[in-house]
Amino acid sequence: MEKELELIKRQLAREKAGRQRAEDLLETKSRMLYELNQQLSSTLESLKAHEIQLVQQEKLASIGQLAAGVAHEINTPAGFTMCNLEVLQQYVLSLLNYQDSLKKSAGIVPSDVQALDAQFNIDMLRKDIPDLLEETLEGMNRIAAIVRELRSFARQGEDEKQWVNIDHLLKETLHLAAGQIKYHVEVITDFSIKKDLYCSPGKLSQVFLNLILNAGQAIEGRGHLWVSTYETQGKAVITFRDDGIGMDEQNKQKVFDAFFTTKPAGKGTGLGLSISMDIINQHNGSITVESTLGEGTEFVIELPIIAKSEDDA
């Protein structure tokens, strides 16, 4: 009996020691898991910060690409506006001198008025001044529109979603990119989306701009870009099709990979399409590509159309 009790004591001691080792191991593993979780959380926050930084860098790169074209677009109306104002200044001085001459002429007769009219070319001034002012105002409106579109592209609070007419957003982006592509690319548009989309307009503008500029760079010599929109089965579909150099199957499979680019060194970050896909995914949409080497490329974006509530209407 005594031996049996001793055996039971030893067995209990072994079980107790085993449980203690298991508890110690569990505590160690739990501590390791906690530390790993903390490290993963820290790494995730770091990756999110890097992602934001990469998106901003890509936006800056896109704006850099636009700079020359935008400068040219602004310079043209600004140039003829300044020229018009200089001419208008001379016209005003002539009119003031004409008025002074009339005041100094006592007992003036119609023939004298006609002579002064001819001397100061009054008939021409009366005809040209309205046209000059209209052209100048048009130039200033063009400058204001370019600046407004650029601010719209780089707007603050771009993460905030709002109801936006996607066709209008596309037109703005095409106007913004015109300086980069208009001399060698003919843009053909067919827009037919009637409903507003709930989206981040700044981010979608960046996607559209990437696709437009990529199409322009893929077209050697002169070519075409077809941009269309339509609604189908509760989705808004936006297509960008060009007749540029196209891609082979291998490059097409990698086109959305981060840092992949077919452009020469220093000509692209390789982030544009990767970031574009992320943005479309954030909108619960999809982006696909079809391309044939030597024939061209087509990107198709599909975005869900959400019905407006009474509060949004």
User: What is the mean predicted confidence (pLDDT) over 83-112?
Assistant: 76
pLDDT at 59: 62
pLDDT at 208: 93
3-state secondary structure of 266: coil
Which residues, 6 or more positions from 32, have their beta carbon under 8 angstroms from its beta carbon?
Answer: none
Edge-to-edge strands, sheet with 296-304 = 185-190, 223-232, 235-242, 296-304, 286-292
230 pLDDT higher than 70: yes
Measured between alpha carbons, how far is 173 from 166 in angstroms, rounded to an integer? 11
pLDDT at 266: 47
Q: Tell me: the pLDDT tens digits for 246-283?
A: 998 888 888 887 666 666 544 554 567 888 888 899 89
pLDDT at 312: 61
Torsional class of 51: left (φ above 0), alpha (ψ -120 to 50), beta (otherwise): alpha
Measured between alpha carbons, how far is 264 from 256 in angstroms, rounded to an integer? 17
116 pLDDT higher than 50: yes
User: What is the mean predicted confidence (pLDDT) over 279-308?
Assistant: 92
Calculate ∠ Cα 27-33-34, nearest 5°: 90
157 pLDDT higher than 50: no
pLDDT at 146: 72
Helices (H), 219-292: 249-254, 272-282
pTM score, whole prediction = 0.59
Q: What is the DSSP string of 3-72?
A: HHHHHHHHHHHHHHHHHHHHHHHHHHHHHHHHHHHHHHHHHHHHHHHHHHHHHHHHHHHHHHHHHHHHHH
Q: Tell me: the pLDDT tens digits for 20-43?
A: 777 777 777 777 777 777 777 777
pLDDT band at 96 (very low <50, low <70, confident <90, very high): confident
Measured between alpha carbons, how far is 258 from 277 in angstroms, rounded to an integer? 10
